[in-house]
Amino acid sequence: MLEINEINVYYGHIHAIVNATLHVDQGEIVTIIGANGAGKTTIQKTIMGLLHSPTGGITFEGEDIANCPTASIVGRGIALVPEGRRIFPRLSVADNLVLGAYSRKDKFVSQDMDKMYQLFPRLAERRSQLAGTLSGGEQQMLAMGRGLMSRPKLLLLDEPSMGLAPVLVSQIFHTITDINREGVTILLVEQNARRALAIANRGYVLEAGKVVLEGLANELATNDDVQKAYLGE
Amino acid sequence: MLQQIINGLALGGVYALIAIGWTVVFGIVGLINWTHGEVFMIGAFAGYLVITTYHVNFFVALVVAMFFGGLVAYLIERLAYRPLRTGPKLALFITALGASIFIRNLAAIIWEPQSRAYPATFEASVMTWQLGSTVLTINTLQIMIFAVTLVIMAFLQWFITRTMMGKAMLAASQDLEAVSLMGVDVNHLITITFWVSGMLGGAAGVLVGVLYAIDPMMGAMAGLKGWAVAVLGGVGSISGAMVAGLLLGVIENISTTFISSGYRDAIAFVIMIATLVIKPTGLMGFKFEDKV
Ligand SMILES: Nc1ncnc2c1ncn2[C@@H]1O[C@H](COP(=O)(O)OP(=O)(O)OP(=O)(O)O)[C@@H](O)[C@H]1O
Ligand SMILES: [Mg+2]
């Protein structure tokens, strides 16, 4: 579904992604794990066309998207729930969700809003409240709901569990599996490697911009190096 | 006092229009838009020229001025700002300043630098009211100007809260990159923003032309006051700019009864500096704590 081939991304002199190759198949949950500054966010931003690789290529459903503007990438069916949520604090919860459907032209938007309120009942109670007044966990739900409103085929999630209380973390990971079961393919970036590997089919380990290891999630979870570096055992 | 407040409201509405046009561009592009005053001047002249040459009524002139204000703002963005958008902020700042001086002087060459007044397009009658011991006089022009500003603001409010494009504009002033992740074409959004900003500036130009003399240099002070009002309202905040504009108009008028009217123009900047010192987020400034 998504093929990333030998990309390199730079911030000025910083070589943030080094010859990275990875792919995501239809229906999978794939996770990218790595320490702070490994380049996880950079990869997701590059997929969305917010950053560019002078080499290699990115294809989605067989079509080259490496040089597409972000709007057209969203239109093709990829959505990113960014690191730090990035909800619009001075818009209402409902308006945040509606904006998620900006690229859609069909008339089922309000129907999907109701679906989001079912998936995240906390948002339903707060639909006319300013998003900036929500708690951290609610903001994460809103960011995910907003991402889903574009009806993506592939959903990119950047550290959805960051800074959340343990109960909420479990809930968010449950929701991710639910979303995947509904047919949405997922590329999940996490520092919480244990939980990410527990729900993923496959995973990649990123170190200083390089993919150093890849494999089935359960294999990675039992790999000695991964256990030492990311699972604290 | 009540008389001063009434006098101040018409001008304050115009300040609000200028400031909203200024603040939407700042909110979304992060640009100190020096050319906004020039767009206002172009609006005033477009209105003047169309009234003197074609003898159209005020409302036609208003529409024409809004169109040219929007067009000029759009062209400035396309020609001067867009090529530099990803460049350093300082380059953009200097370009904006340069473009403003260029347009101002070009206008002075084309239209001659002297000031002129709109012909009286319709009767400006004066109404008087007796309120207890005070007599209020109201110029019908002031009422019309204030009404026009209110209609424009109401329309703008509808646009930003009820349409998808308007919501995207509001969102863009909070997080432009996140807006692009919603599938919004950011170039298109910025184009619309400059059109809206220019139309508001152009409208303000005509409204001022009805009350005061116009000249090619008039944009300089208007642009600065727009900035000051935007700061008072909280930069990027449209509702803040509305309130702050009205407030400045009223304060300016009241102050002329206490201090020399020669200092009138300075008041805006005293208020701006005071705002920056006392409450940098402005009247309507928002500050949400980062939630974890
Ligand atoms: N805007 C930027 N300018 C310069 N360098 C940057 C920028 N953004 C990221 N970097 C650098 O690129 C590298 C990769 O950053 P990235 O944000 O992709 O890491 P990450 O794996 O997402 O980290 P984290 O887990 O902390 O979110 C880091 O060394 C970082 O310092
Ligand atoms: Mg990151």
Summarised one tens digit per residue, pLDDT across range B94-140 is 988 998 999 999 988 999 888 888 887 656 677 777 777 777 777 88
Question: Measured between beta carbons, which residues in chain B are less than 8 angstroms from residue A150?
Answer: 182-183
pLDDT at B285 over 80: no
A132 closest CB neighbour out of B164, B182, B288: B288
Ligand 1 atom at shortest distance from the alpha carbon of A45: 18
**Do the chains contact at A71 and B167, CB–CB below 8 Å?**
no
The stretch B280-287 carries a mean pLDDT of 69
Domain assignment present for residue B289? The answer is no
**Which of B163, B181, B286 to probe the A interface (max A CBs under 10 A)?**
B181
Report whether residue A40 contacts ligand 1, using a CB cutoff of 6 Å: yes
**A232 or A122, which is more confident?**
A122
Question: Measured between beta carbons, which residues in chain B are less than 8 angstroms from residue A70?
Answer: 180-181, 183, 186
- Torsion, Cα A196 A136 A111 A130, to 10 degrees, reads -160
pLDDT at A219 over 50: yes
Taking a C-beta distance cutoff of 8 angstroms, is the pair B28, B274 a contact? no
pLDDT at B266 over 90: no
Amino acid at A103: S
- Of the candidates A44, A50, A51, A58, the one whose C-alpha atom is nearest the C-alpha of residue A160 is A44
pLDDT at B85 over 70: yes
- Of the candidates B196, B232, B226, the one whose C-alpha atom is nearest the C-alpha of residue B208 is B226
Report the distance separating Cα B60 and Cα B52, nearest Å: 12
Report whether residue A61 contacts ligand 1, using a CB cutoff of 6 Å: no
Return the pLDDT at B170: 92
- Of the candidates A139, A161, A160, A94, the one whose C-alpha atom is nearest the C-alpha of residue B288 is A139
| Beta carbons within 8 Å of A82's beta carbon, 6+ residues apart | A44, A143, A158, B178, B181
pLDDT for B33-49, tens place per residue?
899 999 999 999 999 99
Return the pLDDT at B88: 84
Return the pLDDT at B292: 39
Return the pLDDT at A224: 83
**B291 or A226, which is more confident?**
A226
Amino acid at A35: A
pLDDT at A232 over 80: no
Report whether residue A11 contacts ligand 1, using a CB cutoff of 6 Å: yes
Kindly state the percentage of chain A with pLDDT values over 90: 86
Amino acid at A157: L
Q: Are strands B126-131 and A14-24 parallel, antiparallel or unpaired?
A: unpaired
Strand (E) or helix (H) holding B268: helix B264-278
Tell me the pTM.
0.89
Report whether residue A16 contacts ligand 1, using a CB cutoff of 6 Å: yes
Question: Measured between beta carbons, which residues in chain A are less than 8 angstroms from residue B170?
Answer: 88, 90-91
Return the pLDDT at B290: 44
Return the pLDDT at A133: 93
Report whether residue A33 contacts ligand 1, using a CB cutoff of 6 Å: no
Of all residues in chain B, the one with the smallest CA distance to A135 is B291
Of all residues in chain B, the one with the smallest CA distance to A99 is B182
Report whether residue A82 contacts ligand 1, using a CB cutoff of 6 Å: no
| Beta carbons within 8 Å of A224's beta carbon, 6+ residues apart | none
pLDDT at B222 over 80: yes
Of all residues in chain A, the one with the smallest CA distance to B188 is A71
Domain assignment present for residue B185? The answer is yes
Report the distance separating Cα B56 and Cα B76, nearest Å: 28
Report the distance separating Cα B147 and Cα A21, nearest Å: 62
pLDDT tier for residue A19 given thresholds of 50, 70 and 90: very high
pLDDT at A168 over 50: yes
pLDDT for B129-155, tens place per residue?
777 777 777 788 888 889 999 999 999
| Beta carbons within 8 Å of B225's beta carbon, 6+ residues apart | B15, B18, B19, B248, B265, B268
The stretch B25-39 carries a mean pLDDT of 90
Domain assignment present for residue B119? The answer is yes
How does the average pLDDT of chain B come out, rounded? Answer: 87
- Cα-Cα end-to-end distance for chain A: 34
Return the pLDDT at A140: 94
Distance A42 CA to ligand 1 centre (A): 6
Domain assignment present for residue B205? The answer is yes
Taking a C-beta distance cutoff of 8 angstroms, is the pair B186, B100 a contact? no
Return the pLDDT at A233: 59
Return the pLDDT at A47: 97
Return the pLDDT at B124: 65
Q: What is the residue range of B244's domain? A: 2-278
Report the distance separating Cα A77 and Cα A63, nearest Å: 12
Return the pLDDT at A227: 84
Write the CATH number for B80.
1.10.3470
Return the pLDDT at B289: 45
pLDDT tier for residue B286 given thresholds of 50, 70 and 90: low
Overall number of domains in chain B = 1
Question: Measured between beta carbons, which residues in chain A are less than 8 angstroms from residue B291?
Answer: 134-136, 139
- Is B163 in the A-facing interface, judged by CB distances under 8 Å? no
Select, from the ranges A121-130, B223-232, B251-260, B283-292, the one with the highest average predicted confidence (pLDDT). Answer: A121-130
- Of the candidates A194, A146, A202, A203, the one whose C-alpha atom is nearest the C-alpha of residue A170 is A194
Taking a C-beta distance cutoff of 8 angstroms, is the pair B42, B202 a contact? yes
pLDDT at B81 over 60: yes
Minimum distance, in Å, between the CA of residue B196 and any CA atom of chain A: 20
Domain assignment present for residue B287? The answer is no
pLDDT at B287 over 60: no
B174 closest CB neighbour out of A80, A88, A100: A88
**Do the chains contact at B181 and A80, CB–CB below 8 Å?**
yes
Taking a C-beta distance cutoff of 8 angstroms, is the pair A224, A192 a contact? no
Kindly state the percentage of chain B with pLDDT values over 90: 48
Report whether residue A36 contacts ligand 1, using a CB cutoff of 6 Å: yes
Return the pLDDT at B291: 42
Return the pLDDT at A37: 92
Select, from the ranges B155-159, B232-236, B261-265, the one with the highest average predicted confidence (pLDDT). Answer: B155-159
Q: Distance of CA A42 to CAs A15, A83, B191, Å?
A: 11, 11, 28
**Do the chains contact at A102 and B183, CB–CB below 8 Å?**
yes
pLDDT at B236 over 90: no
Write the residue with the smallest CA distance to atom 3 of ligand 1.
A11
Return the pLDDT at B277: 83
Report the distance separating Cα B176 and Cα B193, nearest Å: 13
pLDDT for A76-133, tens place per residue?
999 999 999 999 999 999 999 999 999 998 889 999 999 999 999 999 999 999 999 9
Q: Are strands A185-190 and A202-207 parallel, antiparallel or unpaired?
A: unpaired
